[in-house]
Amino acid sequence: MTDPLRISATYRLRVAAPDATHRAQQLALEQSIEMLATSVNDPHVLDTMVARVDNVATDGDGTHTARLALSAETIGDDAGQLMNMLFGNASLQPDVELIDVEVPAVLAGVWGGPNHGIGGMRRYTGALERPLTCTALKPIGSTIESLVHLCSVFSDAGIDVVKDDHGWANQRSAPFAERVRACQKAITRSNAARDRCTLYAPSLYGHFDEMRAQIELARREGVRLVLIAPMVCGVATLVALKREFQDMMFIAHPSLGGLRIAPEALFGKLFRLFGADAVIFPNHGGRFAYPREVCRAIARHNTQPWHDLKPTMPTPAGGMSVERAAGIVGEYGRDSMLLVGGALLSAREQLAARSTEFVNAVAMAAEAVTA
């Protein structure tokens, strides 16, 4: 059971065994009132605001796990303030990692999770049963003509989501407004000839007001899905955008997410909580070093029942290939989206054929999984 007034946060402490309990108590003060409890006069502050150490345990590897109960009242409904309380100052102390978080139902309701989640990703694309396919528009610096060509090839091949690389902002070579208009137009044209729908996801940049204007522009062009990096723009910006644009879907990019916050907690839970419909994470065996179990835990946290939050589409990525598609489907199952980017583009003149191969590999692997 979750205490309705407390957030449960679990930390790994890398300290000597005799210091573990004291370190946990220090952490509880650091992540709540930022001062000694003995200097506090107000009993309300002591009872309600100070984080409570619920448990300290020593693990097999000699590190310690400390479970703290943070006061929900310290958060004031702000997503950024949750990050402050979970790991703000602790991020500056190298002996501590945040490894898990659980929020009370009332805070889950405050942020509310994805607008649409996996169900929406399926409805909008028409891919009702199988894993989704996703690729990226690369490289930044390309001309709009080149991007339009890529959009047509990918969409004609039946890839479900074509997203901007997160490196796309408002570069002179392809300014946001022109890029979005041209890419969405190419994809709309390709969609018209078919019974399914490829979605184009432009990359948002800047602050809340700029992103809001970008979404308004993109929606007018028919865009229903956008890419956002919550650790770059701030998690409160994601929350505010998904609230304001309830018909839109948001793919969260992990950029700048390499804090000492466990990927299972950040990409598995927090991004879902704040409203990501799909979450990109570095898959094992690619360019990034997350172990397989971490990746599986991210996907599990994205999809399993959690308060009343819709499930979020897990999107393994990062150096993936068409050859690995069947294995990835076998691992994550139907409720996943496979993102293969650079590996498609390396086919050069065979881009269309390789894209079709990707789509077919996922569809075939999905049948094997459901069989």
Interface with its own copies in residues 186-215 (CB under 8 A): 205-210
Nearest to 200 by CA among 238, 262, 251, 130: 251
Candidates 1, 44, 192, 304; binder of its own copies (CB under 8 A) is: 44
| Minimum distance of its own copies from residue 127's CB (angstroms) | 25
| Minimum distance of its own copies from residue 229's CB (angstroms) | 7
CB distance 243 to 276 below 8 Å: no
Q: Considering the complex, state which of residue 18 and residue 172 has its C-beta at the smaller distance from its own copies.
A: 172
* Calculated CA dihedral for residues 270, 276, 278, 281, nearest 10 degrees: -40
Q: Considering the complex, state which of residue 2 and residue 170 has its C-beta at the smaller distance from its own copies.
A: 170
DSSP state of 349: G
Question: Is 357 a binder of its own copies (CB under 8 A)?
Answer: no
| Minimum distance of its own copies from residue 360's CB (angstroms) | 22
Phi-psi region of 76 (alpha: psi -120 to 50; beta: other; left: phi over 0): left
- How far is it, in rounded angstroms, from Cα 22 to Cα 119? 46
Question: Is 325 a binder of its own copies (CB under 8 A)?
Answer: no
Q: What amino acid is encoded at 181 in this protein? A: R
Question: Is 3 a binder of its own copies (CB under 8 A)?
Answer: no
**Edge-to-edge, what's the strand order for the sheet holding 199-201?**
199-201, 161-164, 132-137, 337-339
Q: What amino acid is encoded at 61 in this protein? A: D
Question: Is 152 a binder of its own copies (CB under 8 A)?
Answer: no
Candidates 36, 192, 193, 371; binder of its own copies (CB under 8 A) is: 36
Q: Considering the complex, state which of residue 50 and residue 201 has its C-beta at the smaller distance from its own copies.
A: 50
* Calculated CA dihedral for residues 242, 244, 248, 251, nearest 10 degrees: -20
Q: Considering the complex, state which of residue 21 and residue 170 has its C-beta at the smaller distance from its own copies.
A: 170
Candidates 16, 256, 353, 368; binder of its own copies (CB under 8 A) is: 256
Interface with its own copies in residues 6-35 (CB under 8 A) = 26, 30, 32-35
Instruction: Give 109's contacts (C-beta < 8 A, 6+ positions apart).
Output: 307, 308
Q: Considering the complex, state which of residue 50 and residue 365 has its C-beta at the smaller distance from its own copies.
A: 50
Instruction: Give 187's contacts (C-beta < 8 A, 6+ positions apart).
Output: 151, 152, 155, 162, 198, 199, 200
What secondary structure does DSSP assign to 17-64, as a single string? GGGHHHHHHHHHHHTTTSS-GGG---HHIIIIIS-EEEEEEE-TTS-E
DSSP state of 126: T
Count of residues interacting with its own copies (CB under 8 A): 86
Candidates 5, 144, 169, 369; binder of its own copies (CB under 8 A) is: 169
Question: Is 177 a binder of its own copies (CB under 8 A)?
Answer: no
| Minimum distance of its own copies from residue 122's CB (angstroms) | 27
Segment contacting its own copies (CB under 8 A): 3-11, 110-118, 285-293, 297-305?
Answer: 285-293
Interface with its own copies in residues 59-118 (CB under 8 A) = 71, 73-78, 80-81, 83-85, 87-95
Candidates 54, 288, 326, 363; binder of its own copies (CB under 8 A) is: 288
